[in-house]
Amino acid sequence: MRVYDIITKKKLGEPLLDTEIDYVIKGYVANEIPDYQISALLMAIYFNGMSMDELISLTKSMVESGDQIDLSGIKGIKADKHSTGGVGDKTSLVLLPLMASSGLKVSKMSGRGLGHTGGTIDKLESFPGFNISLSSEEMFEIVDRVGFAIAGQTLNLVPADKKLYALRDVTATVDSLPLIASSIMSKKIASGADYILLDVKIGKGAFMKDIDHAVELAKVMVSIGENFNRKTGVVLTNMEEPLGYAVGNALEVIEAIDTLSGKGPDDFTTLCLFLNAAILSLTGLTASIDEGIIKTEALLKSGVPLSKFKDFVAAQGGDADYIDHPERFNHATYQYEIRSDINGYIAEIDAEKIGICSLMAGAGRETKEQSINHSAGIVLKVKVGDRIDANDILGTIYTGKENMEKELSDYFRQSIKIVTESVPKPQVIIGIVDKNGFKDLRKKG
């Protein structure tokens, strides 16, 4: 077999055989095929797409490129969730306690953040002592006892994706539907859960900029999941503005604690309730999503998810006393309040710009080697649709960096658009996709 011929076939729009795809993935992971040939193939895939058969073959080869987690040692219904990432996305910190309190078992691998979106691991490391390097035995023990555990990626899961993703990042081929679908699904399948719920974010702060493309991606991921015998559902959600008010590691943890205490922002609480209800319905623990929402609301009120979160933090070595006393989290040295110059309505809060501003304040890293300041970030005071008066606070920037007030404030201001006419509040849940297709859940009018 010659890679040259495989590239040519794809360039001409002909489907690749599973043996050809496997040859390419194995050869690339073994460093036997150079980046420039894979770059050409990625670009041919970008333009000519992939059939479902090719996608299944690609996902299978990627899954088999590294370790696969066997969760059969854990009793109960094993479920996993994944978000395509967004600004202020602290969903795992609330959803996993909800899932565990609902009787599901969740063994989750998470990553660190890079660029303008944060990673769950970075947020959790705001707790002094929190340990993300768990052995499989430790992980299974915590999942059995508490219901969920979150570890960093110690195992060699899908090395093919690590190499391919890095190459896509520098060859302008990240935004290819088959490449995104196989990248996400290979990691979820290798992680071992039987039920997979995906939160696909749409909007300025997300990969998917419009609903049609997101629905197409969701349908493809559901088909891949079902092909590997994993029941897969997708919730499409809004990421035009940041989720909740807090952006930045410890700030987001505090907002997650508030949400688990029933005092969270409306949009974030709605999202967490809906996602838990969607996974309850996917696993058959409830007959419908509506029934799941009622059940999850009652659970949240009971306080059980909050105490699960405490058990989880303690089980992974973190100081769970911070949950009862969030004032113990480190405070940023500098805090800058940004106030509105005019009266009006909030028409836009650009999630990507807020994410970048938070990164500039020290909450994120631009290269893998950079360290982060867990107390840095932004707490917004407003959401799209809010009415404000001149001099009202729009948000507060937290940073440990000196002499950054002007630069950060100017950038923050650029992310917020204020108009004189009233603006409707955006809906956080856009729709769901399962094996029956797309269901639009946007309320009309």
Among 57, 65, 173, 183, which residue sits at the site for ligand URA (rule: CB under 6 A)?
183
User: Which amino acid is located at 119 in the chain?
Assistant: G
Candidates 6, 43, 58, 184: give the one binding ligand URA (CB under 6 A).
184
Q: Tell me the closest approach of the beta carbon of residue 405 to ligand URA, in angstroms.
A: 34
Nearer to ligand URA, 88 or 362 (CB): 88
Least distance in angstroms from the C-beta of 214 to ligand URA: 12
Sequence-ordered list of residues with C-beta below 8 angstroms from that of 333, at least 6 positions apart, any chain: 399, 400
Give residue 64's identity as a one-letter amino acid code: E
Looking at 177-185, 252-260, 275-283, 373-381, which segment touches ligand URA (CB under 6 A)?
A: 177-185
Q: How far is the CB of 247 from ligand URA (least distance, A)?
A: 19
Catalytic residue, chosen from 60, 81, 108, 168, is 168
**Close Cβ partners of 235 (under 8 Å, ≥ 6 residues apart):** 197, 198, 199, 200, 274, 275, 278, 429, 431, 432
Nearer to ligand URA, 97 or 233 (CB): 233
Radius of gyration of the chain (CA): 22
Q: Is 100 in the site for ligand URA (CB under 6 A)?
A: no
Report the residue from 59, 83, 84, 107 that binds ligand URA according to the rule CB under 6 A. 84
Distance (Å, whole) CA 50 – CA 379: 42
Active site residue 307: no
Residues 22-51 that bind ligand URA (CB under 6 A): none
Using CB under 6 A as the binding rule, whether residue 358 contacts ligand URA is answered as no
> How many residues lie near ligand URA (CB under 6 A)?
6
Spatial distance between the Cα atoms of 431 and 429, rounded to a whole number of angstroms: 6
The residues, any chain, with a CB within 8 Å of residue 418's CB and separated by 6 or more, are 340, 342, 344, 345, 346, 347, 388
CB of 341 to ligand URA, least distance (A): 38
140 to each of 72, 76, 104, 231, how far by Cα in Å?
10, 12, 13, 22
CA 436 from chain centre, in angstroms, equals: 24
Q: What is the Cβ-side half-sphere exposure of residue 408, based on CA atoms within 13 angstroms?
A: 27
Of 100, 99, 105, 96, nearest in space to 76 by CA: 105
Q: Looking at 23, 140, 195, 207, which residue binds ligand URA (CB under 6 A)?
A: 207
Tell me the sheet residues that pair with 331: none
Q: Does 214 bind ligand URA (CB under 6 A)?
A: no
Nearer Cβ to ligand URA (167/423): 167
- Residue 82 annotated to the active site: yes
**Alpha-carbon separation of residue 261 from 88, 258, 323, 366 (angstroms):** 18, 5, 10, 33
Shortest Cβ 42–ligand URA spacing (Å)? 11
Query: Are 233 and 292 a contacting pair, CB within 8 Å?
Result: no
Active site residue 168: yes
Told to judge if 72 belongs to the known catalytic residues of this protein, a careful annotator would answer no
Residue number of the CB closest to ligand URA reads 183
Q: Give the Cα separation of 349 and 344 in Å (integer).
A: 14
Based on the residue annotation, tell me whether 161 is a catalytic residue of this protein: yes
For residue 132, what are its two tokens? 């993300």
Shorter beta-carbon distance to ligand URA: residue 184 or 222: 184
DSSP state of 23: H
Catalytic residue among 65, 183, 281, 358: 183
Minimum CB separation of residue 382 from ligand URA in Å reads 29
Phi-psi region of 89 (alpha: psi -120 to 50; beta: other; left: phi over 0): beta
Q: Contact, 145 vs 315, CB < 8 A?
A: yes
Give the footprint of ligand URA on residues 185-204 (CB under 6 A).
Answer: none
Least gap, CB of 381 to ligand URA (angstroms): 31
Which region, judged by CB under 6 A, interacts with ligand URA, from 13-21, 179-187, 334-342, 385-393?
179-187
180 binds ligand URA (CB under 6 A): yes
Letters for 407-436 (x = contact with ligand URA by CB under 6 A, - = none) are ------------------------------
Interface with ligand URA (CB under 6 A) = 84, 179-180, 183-184, 207
List residues with catalytic annotation: 82, 161, 168, 183, 187
